[in-house]
Structures are given as structure tokens and as C-alpha cells.
Structure 1
């Protein structure tokens, strides 16, 4: 910067002060270091006061290094700036200004010599631009990128970005895996490809609404997979604005198909529990009736003389009632309405005793063969529970052979 020719030095410096008074950047006018007693501040503009908190009357007359260099400033910077001021040279650097309240502000400093008509530097003008906001924005951007990277690294949460044309611009491994694709197969793909055909019109309208309305929405929908199947997912979709002003959809998905399966199993378990309660109630009442049948059958047998023909018929009734009572005990055990009663039992005898019952359970298509060993050590168990286990095994085997087997 050069003073206007034909005017005095004082008038020229006054013009400089007027030109920088309304500058958005903080400005400090100093004498050159060659002038005794060294460089001092001769003028500051209002932006400098806003930046540092020092009004003009407190700043003027002080050494510039007291105002321009705060903590955490590179030690080489003050030396370089003062050398530039002394030599009347231009210089730019990053530094830290100490505010009057003791806080610090990051600034970008630019030293500009003010030369007289002869070309000699008569003053130095230092412009300070506050970069604290820029650095905060940079830190925020770095933090946002770190959060985004962590989000995309999630092994369970599917994450994707789609542009205004519905093209996927980035997906993570979990998102691709939910749809049966590799990540590179989805980048650049139309988002509607991942929606079942009969839902695509509605999805296209929703895409436009999400971009214009912005706010995130959470809902469940069907996702179309690469193999032609579909699965239910729960997701959140919202719009975000990039630095260039364009909008993208941010999609996060959680696969809830396993949750559906677990809920179905829970419903089945509840049904079985209800069936068990019903079976237990029926078995309890039926057991009371059997007790009456067994009692009267015993009384009838005692009333008949030995060798009477009816004794054989009554014995058949008693055996049938005993077998029915055994079945009711199994039902009561299944319904958890009968306590477990372990006893010493012969496992081979238990198996042989329910052979006919198992054959009736298996039906005509499945042939049952029973092979037991004669020398089997007795075990301690509830025989009714053993029967229940064997019946369950037989039923599972029957269900696994729908066309029959052995």
C-alpha cells in the first residue's frame, strides 16, 4: 500500500485509517520497528475491538506483539512478523490472538507495508481474520465424518445414502447383506430395485416426500432381495443437505425377519401352553371319572364268585381303565399339573409297554421296529415323562417322513 502523492504523511495516514475503519477484518496500524522506541500501535479499527475486546485507547501505544500473539502461537511467528514490519515487507501466517478476557482466538494474519512517496515503509498494516469459526466448522465436519464412518461400519445396522435421482451413492456391508448383494453391486443402483414391484409406485412418491419434507420417518416395509425373496425390515428415512446444496436420503435399516420368526414361535408356545392347560383340565376331570369306573369294577369283581364268566369282562374293563388312567397322568404331567415322581424303572419294559400306542400314533405309512436289550440297568425316572419323551420322538420322526418310512 502506498500513500497518495501530493499529500502530507499525516493526511496520507489519515486516509489509510479511514479506508480500513469499516473493514470486516480486524486491522492494526503500527509504526515500523526501525523507528524508536520500536514498533507501536497507532490505530485499530472497530473490528479489532470486536475481536480482541481492546478499545482503541487501550490498544494505541502498545507493542503489537502484546496484542497480536497469544498462547499456543508458534514461537517463530512473532519473530517473522516483527522482521517483516521492520523491513517493510508483506507477510502472512496463522497465529493466536489473546483477547482481553484471557481467551484466545485463532486468526490468519497478513502484514502489509504502508509506503510513502519515496517508497520507504512508514507504517505496517496488520489485518487479522478470525478463523475460529472456520476451524470449528472443520472440527465439526471431521466429527461428522467420524460419526458417519462409525455408522457405516455397523455390523448389524444397514446404512445407505441415495441421491435425488434415487441412485444409491453409498451403502455399508450390512445394508448389502440384508438384500443379498455385495456393496459394489448396489452403488449406482436405483433404490426402487430393492422394493417389491407392487410397492414401487408408493416408494417413488415417498422418496419425493422425504426429500422435500426432510424430517426422519420410521416405518416397516418389505425389502426385495437379489434371490427374488423379500424380507421385512424396520427403517428410518430422512433427508440431509450436502455442502454443495444437493439433498440425499439417509436410510438406516434393521432386519426384523428374525424378530417375526421369534414372535411366531412365541405365539405357538402360547398356543401350546393354552392347549396344555385345556388338556390338563380335561385329564383331571377324566381321571375322576376313571377312579369311579375302577372302583365299581373292583366292587363288581369282588361280588362275583371265582370262575364266573363276567370276571374276565370286568378284568378287561379294569385294564382299559388303568391304561386310560396312565394316559391321563401323562396329560397331567405335560400340562405341569402333576408333580414329577421319579422311581426305579426298566427302560426296556417302558418301551415295550407303549409299542402299540406308538404304532397307532405313527399311522400306517411308518413302520415301527423296537429292539431292546435284555440286560439293561434300571434307571431312576418318572415313567410318564419317559413315555412323553418317546412319544415326542416318534411324532417328530413321523413328521420328518411325510411319505412314510421305517
Structure 2
């Protein structure tokens, strides 16, 4: 319509020709998908096409023509006044974004392009404007920017956790050695124990960072979320205190999902603790489960959702709630609204990471002074529940006399592991990278009973090293060590059935037990 109007401004038509051209212009305006309208210089609608009517949520031209745009269309009346002022100055406006509201009150973002025109029939001048609804595009862009930000912070968090795990490995390991060699009545014992406690807290933080960055190791099994909630309930009641009521509403026919039961417990614990902190004067926490189907309708708001059947877990509180700005940042690591010393800001980011890594989604809905609901959606599966397996019985970390080839590029970690193994009676050959390990293996006279190798090293990876070594030493058992993140390990091909793995930082007792366990199991 704008093109035709521009043409008619410069060419004089008479009679039937003018009528034909006007008719064609109207037909084109009716056919396009963008809104097109003509208005007075005061903003009053003079003519609208069907796309604009639909955009605003009305059913007829008369409905829209009767609107006062300043009051009924523009969210900010001042924005409309500024726009009209620009047009009166004769400016042509291109791709100006404004906020409108539909008939139902929902806001939309609209991009306007147009200009003021005049004709012999309309001496006062009119505006001819194309309006494009870009609401969905802006939502997608915001989601993409948020995903990019979370991914970037996740990569940073994963890298920091990797480096910290190597440092903590040394701190915790040698602290463990010191505690084994002194008695409790020694004056230095409580000081060394304090170092150990600080290292343990730091280890927890690195695991939370790995959880947020979706790069921790998960033991995925088919689980019953109802059973997990019931098991957690007896632990949660004393945690939340007597002034908070805990209620559960669990679906009797709840489907199964594939997840790490221990991590789902961590998610529930974090969300319940958050809910408790939001209700210092008491209130109510409700845990609910249900079978749901996420449909394409939800994708209009969250484009990344995969439609299908899900298990829903929700945790609702009656606390003080959150404003929109806080809600937009709650899953960022180290973001907290709690007082200094009352929280690390990693609780909700841990929830986010665990659920995303499990293939699910987590959403928060909150109103100030009304409370908050966190809804978690985990993909539903048809398989039956797998046994979770009990923790292995505690056994003494006995030693042995086997020959172990230790490959670790971090010298301090390598020294700690070597000393631990030698103290248990093992003969240790050591190398700082894969090529050196293969040279040592080829020149060694006698069997190599076990290869202990870091997963990610400069040059040859631990996976490639194990393949080459086992080709010439088929009886060699393999134990992988890593403080690295799960996706790096998966990319290196480590997590296969039958693969044994120990994640840093681990205690020296854990190392000794794992080495013995691998050597014994392989001999069966």
C-alpha cells in the first residue's frame, strides 16, 4: 500500500483509473501478513487491514477504528505522543519498536515503519504505517541471550572446578596423611582437622559448580519420583522447623523417569531450604507430583521445550515471593538475595544444572507477598523402576603387591597418589603423559597389573593410552581419574559399560579401596 501511495503522489490519475488503483491497493493491504493502517496526525485510526485487527485481538474493523490508540493501544501513552511528534516534523520512521496492548491486555512488541503523506482529498495529512508484531522474535532473542550467558558461565564454572579439584586433591590428601600420623590429643590436630573441613566445604562448592555447568557425573536410572519424595519427607520435616507445614500431594499413577536419584534428592533439598528461608515467620510448603504432557502451546513462551509426556515435580511456598528482576537471575551462580554469610548463591544454579543435565526443565513462578512455585519437568519413560542399589559395605583399604602404572600430568597429584599406593605395598611406575607411559611399559620387564590414568592430558588422552596399552598388555586393569567435567569425559569415550572411574577430589581411603576393588573384580 505504501508503494502504491508513493506512486500516486507523483502521478495524476482520473476517474476509473484512480478507482482501480485504490481497489488494488486495498486488496494488497488485506493480503499481507503485517498490519497496515492509516491514521490522522493525532493518532486516530482511519483505516486498518485484517492483519492489524488480528494483531490487536479484535474481530472487526469497526472495533479497532473506535479505539483511542493513546489509551487503548499504546502501553505508554507518552510513547505515542513522541511518535506523533516525530511524524509531524515530517520524519520518515523506519523500524521503530513500541509496546502495544491487545484487547485482552497482554502486551506485544510492535515494529513500526511509515511516514506522513498528503493528497488533494486529505489536506490535513495522514500517516501510513506498517506494523510488524515482533513479540515472539524478541522472546526468542532474550531466551537465546540468557542461554548464551548461562553456557558461558557454565564453561567458566566447569574450568574453575577442574583446576580447583586438582588443588583440593593435594590439600585434602596430605591433610588426610597428617591426621593419620598424629593423635587427637596433639595440639596441632584440631588445626589440621579445620583445614580438612575447609577443604571438604570447598569440594562441595566445586561439585555445585559442576552441577550448574551440567558437567558432573550422573548415575542415570529409571526411578520413581514419588518414592524419592517419600524417602526425603522424614528428613525434611525436622529441617524446616515446627512453624512451617509440609504437605505432599503425590499422583497415584505417576510415571517413571530416568534420573540420578541422589541428585533429585539434592534438588528437592535445595528447593525446600529455599522455601523455608522465604518464610521466616512460618508458612506452608507443598510438594506435588503429576503426569503432564507439554504441548506446542507452551513452545510459544519457551521455544526450546520438546513436546511430549513428562513427570512434573513442583514445590510451592507461601513466602514473600520475588519480583520480575530477581526471577530473571535466580539460576545464575553466586546470585543471592540472602544476607551475607547466609547462602552461597549456588543452591538454585545447582537445581538448574541437575535438571538440564537430566534432560528436563525447571521454571519458577512467583508473586510478591504471594509465594513461589518451582515446577520441574522430567521426560517420562515406559521402563520399570531399576533398583537403586545400596552403598557398598565399608571395608578396610587393604594394599597389595601388584605393579601399577600411574599417569598424571599434575605433578603434585601424581606424587600424592604414588606415595599412597607405595605405602600400601604396590610397585608404582609413573609418567606425566601418555607417550612416556607407553615407553615405560614397553621397557618394563614383567606384568603391569593396573593402569591408573588421568582422563584429559596434553597430547594423548587417557582413553587412547588405555587402548594402546591394553593391546600389548591385555591383562592390565584400568582405572580412570579426573577432576574434569562430564562432557569432556564423554567426548573422550570414557563412560562405557565396565569402565571404572574415580572423580577428583577423592580421599586416599577411597583410592585405596577402589584400586583393590578393581584388581579383585577383574580377576573373577
TM-score normalised by structure 1 residue count: 0.45
Comparing both chains, which one has the higher relative contact order based on Cα–Cα distances under 8 Å and sequence gaps of 6 or more?
2
Answer with 1 or 2: which has the greater Rg: 1
| Bigger proportion of residues as helix | 1
